[in-house]
Chain A
Amino acid sequence: MSKIIAICAKDFRSWTNHFSFYLLAAFFLGMTGYFFWSGLSYFSIVSFQVATNPAMQVKSLNLTEGVFSLFMANMTVLLLLLIPILTMKSFAEEKKFGTLELLFTYPVSDFQIITGKFLGMLAVVSVLILPTVSYFFLAQVVGAKFELLTLLTGYLGLILISASFISFGMFMSSLTEHQVVSAGICFAVLLFFWIIGWVADWTSPALGAIFRELSLVLHYEDMTRGVLDTKDIAYFLFFTFFFLFASMATLEIRTWKR
């Protein structure tokens, strides 16, 4: 366990020691702040119009659907861009500089390496995400009260979907020693999983069901509305563990007797 913590802490440090991390964080917080502010402003205008114009009928006008859900979706698209950039280092860089080989000479198992690196990356992403919680408390100043349980469910979903991105990004990084290749392919494939659900309604019912189940976004959407479904959680956990396992398999290839 202490080895997992050591690897996790080291990976966390090597990101946060780097100036580029603060640039990424500034970009991320700036963008999410903008999303939140514009979303909330738009919602206040719309709700003002509804309140003053009796001819307009809006059935479900609430903060969760109108602001929170949209905000979470936008933030996830940003993470879809950022996480491949964060995870590309995890193995590709170590392979390139030869430090992965050094790691193999220590009394550490592949499982400990993968778990440590995954948790380190998750910690880095959490540091990016956590400050955004403050937006919802700041919004209370202007009278926008969000439900606490909805927030919690939404952020649980965000952590789960980030874990899936990280796990896949690490797998891509374990396949190559070129960081840019790893980030590029990771982004392309994650984007594919993101948009695959869009066509679900137009294709045949059987195919549509498959697309719907594979889609990252459809599993995530419910959680941002405050709906907690074990099916969605199981999907993200499966996605995460599958690619962590795949990364472990790529590390093990070196021990094959060819």
Chain B
Amino acid sequence: MISVSRVSKSFGSIKALEDISFTIQNREIIGFLGPNGAGKTTLMRILTGIFPPSSGSVLIEGKNLAGSKNLRKKIGYLAEHNPLYRDITAREFLTYVAALKEVPWRNRKKAVLEVAERCSITSVLNRIIGKLSKGYQQRIGLAQALLGDPEVLILDEPTNGLDPQQIIEMRKLVREFGQNKTIILSTHILHEVEQTCGRVLILNQGRLAAALQMTEKMNLEEIFMEIVAKEPAPCPK
């Protein structure tokens, strides 16, 4: 269980997040929704432990995430725009990540092959990452998140920049992983949330605007527009 309580984050004078609280149960697929600049990525960065919140706390299984190296083992992260080392091969990269995620030396090869198979990238393992197509790169990004068998997957816009077929495949993968992992997914594609998530949190201007359980009849689009229209993003001066 992940519990976020009263989390705020500001960068200098800019308030990115304000007083956000929610809990996520195990094996839940939860979607973060919001317009650009709503604070989705900042919230995800806090949840992955890249930086701590300015105030408030994130507890994973009751333990504070800030400054805890061991808790980070429980989390797999696919960052926005999927950063990867472009000048080494996929196998080198995944073996490297396996080492950093404390996969024992003997199991590393096996672990890399396993995640490669799950993400269907076995055929490109020996190619330089920078020369692969975006779809493959995205799957390598997913594979590195899966290494070390984390309990929580945090995916920041996982379908960004993929073609329709790849988007459908990615959604299928996410649903598959959701069977035994907690998944936090951010997107601004409403349709995606409807298809994959059990619950959705809507962020607007750094605040939690709504937390909704997904139901069949729900019109997410209407709800979303209503929330965003209430407090439109301020025009930059």
Contacts and interface: CB of A to CB of B under 8 A. Distances in A.
Given A17-B87, A258-B54, A98 B81 contact: yes
Contact of A108 (B55, B67, B83, B100): B100
A14 B93 CA distance: 10
> Could you say which interface size class chain B belongs to?
35 or more
A106 B72 contact: yes
Contacts of B70: 107
A102 B88 CA distance: 16
A218 to B, nearest CB: 38
B102 A258 contact: no
B96 interface: yes
B88 A98 contact: no
Interface in B50-108: 50-55, 66-67, 69-70, 72-73, 75, 77, 79-81, 83-88, 92-93, 96-97, 99-102, 105
A106 B97 contact: yes
B173 to A, nearest CB: 19
Given A99-B84, A107-B73, A7 B100 contact: yes
Nearest to A116: B100
Contact of A104 (B50, B53, B92, B99): B50
Interface in B102-157: 102, 105, 128, 144
Contacts, number: 85
Contacts of B52: 255, 257
B206 to A, nearest CB: 15
Interface string A214-258: 000000000000000000000000000000000000000011011
Contacts of B128: 17
Nearest to A98: B83
Contact of A98 (B12, B79, B96): B79
Interface string A87-110: 000000000011101111111110
A191 interface: no
Contacts of A103: 100
A256 to B, nearest CB: 8
B96 A6 contact: yes
Interface in B193-237: none
A145 interface: no
Contacts of A108: 69, 100
Interface residues of A, number: 27
Contacts of A98: 79-81, 83
B72 A107 contact: yes
Contacts of A254: 50-51
A9 interface: yes
Contacts of A2: 99, 105
A7 B95 CA distance: 11
B182 interface: no
B71 to A, nearest CB: 8
A102 B79 contact: yes
A3 B99 contact: yes
A248 B236 CA distance: 35
Contacts of B12: 258
B69 A109 contact: yes
A101 B102 contact: no
A18 interface: yes
A211 to B, nearest CB: 39
A99 B137 CA distance: 13
A14 B50 CA distance: 24
B175 interface: no
Contacts of A107: 69-70, 72-73, 100-102
B87 A18 contact: yes
B101 A99 contact: no
A105 B87 contact: no
Nearest to A257: B54
B86 A97 contact: yes
Given A14-B88, A17-B128, A102 B83 contact: yes
Contacts of B187: none
Q: Taking each of B55, B67, B84, B96, which has the highest tally of chain A beta carbons within 10 Å of its own beta carbon?
A: B96
B85 A10 contact: yes
B10 interface: yes
6 contacts: A6-B99, A10-B93, A97-B85, A99-B84, A104-B48, A107-B102
Q: Nearest 10 A-B pairs (CB), nearest first?
A: A98-B83, A6-B99, A106-B100, A105-B77, A105-B48, A99-B83, A107-B72, A10-B96, A104-B50, A107-B69
Interface of A: 2-3, 5-7, 9-10, 13-14, 17-18, 97-99, 101-109, 254-255, 257-258
